[in-house]
Structure 1
């Protein structure tokens, strides 16, 4: 009786083993079938995409309009007319303004220490000239210095030369400013040629004689009673508001002060200070107004005091970034 039972168990185990093998094989077969189907679908999709692109390009090439030589000639003429009608003058002006603004940025981005060094070099240059040198010689000396400084800055920018106060990264900007924006840079450092020239050369005039060299100012020679002082700004109470009181020269501004003091009524303040702006770019002041060329301020002060003299201090320029190095005003306290 035991033998049939063993045979029965063996037969059951055999069926289970074959069923497991079939089950495993069915999973593999299903995976292979699915992968094949995916490949076929992908190939079909790629074929359709390729066919549609080819068909589109073929139709596009065949549907392109064919123009006659006469039509092509008319289109070329219309394009030429449209190009000729462009406001070329305006476009060129805009380009020049943009270039000027870019060059102005180079001037503004120059460090203040570098600008002060340039001012010092020019002052030393002018000191070395003969005291009787006219504005033409002074202009030529400064122009020669500028050309030499351009070449020096270019050599520093290319690493061919070194300097203790010009960094290579700043040398390129300095060269462009000296070469293309000299007017803006000269205004920044307080140099005006030929309108103004700084001259510190000693002279042998007798004591008490007016040593102001008025050849650097436009207009008539200033009389001794004007006591004109270059690069000076006096304070005081306004007798005539300079924003609306313009004169063509420092001489006329001083004469206006003298005339006002002579003809003033007893209850009016008498002018004893005149302040004039001779710079074409205008004159800097710490107030909110824009002071322009030929402004003539008539002032009164019981004890005249100088607001600014010769150069603005480094601390002042730090608080007023737009201030030039040299005081632009010309002033005088008239003799009573």
Structure 2
């Protein structure tokens, strides 16, 4: 038995195991460096919330909200860089945290946005003249992945409509908001007599999933088909501060895209 154990120990790739352990520790160390401290994350969330309240976000469109958040990011990033250069002494950001803040607001800004509950679809830019073709509609600056939903979809960004589920989104995924809306229109068109016809579609475009107060984990590309005689909003643009106080997992901005279709 002792001889067998000795042979087994000698045959182990000890050098490889040591290198793997070192690499694992290095990755953990880098993750700790990149991770934004909890108190700073809360500070940023409160600042963004205060900014959105000052804009009367209930009436502001999503483009204005995203522009304001981007302006906040640039100002905070500029402050962090000045702290690093020693140009600012008195700041709520500590000198030893300035590098982490700079990293989070530049290289890992999209990750931080997802954690907060924001998603920024890529803006379509026409490279030749940087303007839209004459025959293209004047869309909002925010764009969704995939084909643009047609007018009858009435797509609304950062919106969640209530309704009875016609098709369960947990098991019904679509490539884009366009495909989700088309699925709703097709269901309504082909519904059997007495069957509820879809008139509401709700889609999750966020790569990290979408928040909901239920017990399920809602993932990217979930497509919910719903019906309601009188469609009502669950949430629009941002979750109210009073709601977030009782639902600490809720992000700032509603991550869903939805619409009430014209049938």
Q: TM-score, normalised by structure 1?
A: 0.56
Task: Determine the structure 2 residue equivalent to 1:324.
Answer: 251
1:262-301 pair list within 5 angstroms: 262-301=189-228
**2: CA distance between counterparts of 1:287 and 1:170?**
39
Provide structure 1 residue ranges, at least 5 long, that are not aligned to the other structure.
1-77, 125-130, 132-137, 198-209
Alpha-carbon deviations, 1:227-284, whole Å to 9, x = none?
0000000011000000000000000000000000011011211100000000001001
Relative contact order (C-alpha < 8 Å, sep 6+): which is higher?
2
Output the CA distance in 2 between the equivalents of 1:212 and 1:234: 22
Helix, strand or coil for the counterpart of 2:225?
A: strand
Give the distance between the partners of 1:267 and 1:312, measured in 2 at CA.
36
Q: Does 1:117 align with 2:37?
A: no
Q: Which has the larger radius of gyration?
A: 1
Q: The residue matched to 2:234 in structure 1 has which SS?
A: strand
**Which residue of structure 1 aligns with residue 4 of structure 2?**
none
SS of 1:86 mapped into structure 2: helix
CA RMSD of aligned residues (A): 3.7
- Which residue number corresponds to residue 95 of structure 1? 26
Q: Quick check: which one's helix share is greater? A: 1
The 2-side partners of 1:219 and 1:259 are apart by 18
- Cα distance, 1:94–1:237 mapped onto 2, change above 3 Å: farther
CA distance in 2, matches of 1:196, 1:230: 14
Q: What SS is found at the alignment partner of 1:228?
A: coil
- Count of residues in correspondence between the two structures: 226
**Which residues in structure 2 correspond to 1:1-336 (within 5 Å)?**
82-83=14-15, 85-86=16-17, 88-89=19-20, 91-93=22-24, 95-97=26-28, 99-100=30-31, 103-104=34-35, 106=37, 108-110=38-40, 112=42, 114-118=44-48, 120=51, 142=70, 146=73, 149-153=76-80, 155=82, 160-162=88-90, 166=92, 168=94, 172=98, 174-175=101-102, 177-178=104-105, 181-195=108-122, 213=140, 216-336=143-263
Give the drift of 1:156: 5.4
* SS state at 2:17 partner: coil
Residue 318 of structure 1 deviates from its aligned partner by 2.0
Deviation at 1:317, TM superposition (A): 1.7
Shift of 1:211: 6.9
Query: For residues 196 and 287 of structure 1, do their structure 2 counterparts lie closer, same or farther at Cα, with a shift above 3 Å needed?
Result: farther
Q: Structure 2: 5+ residue runs without aligned partners?
A: 1-9, 56-62, 125-136
What SS does structure 2 have at the residue aligned with 1:216? coil
SS at 1:149's partner residue? helix
Match of 1:29 in 2: none
Deviation at 1:185, TM superposition (A): 1.5
Q: What's the TM-score, normalizing by structure 2?
A: 0.70
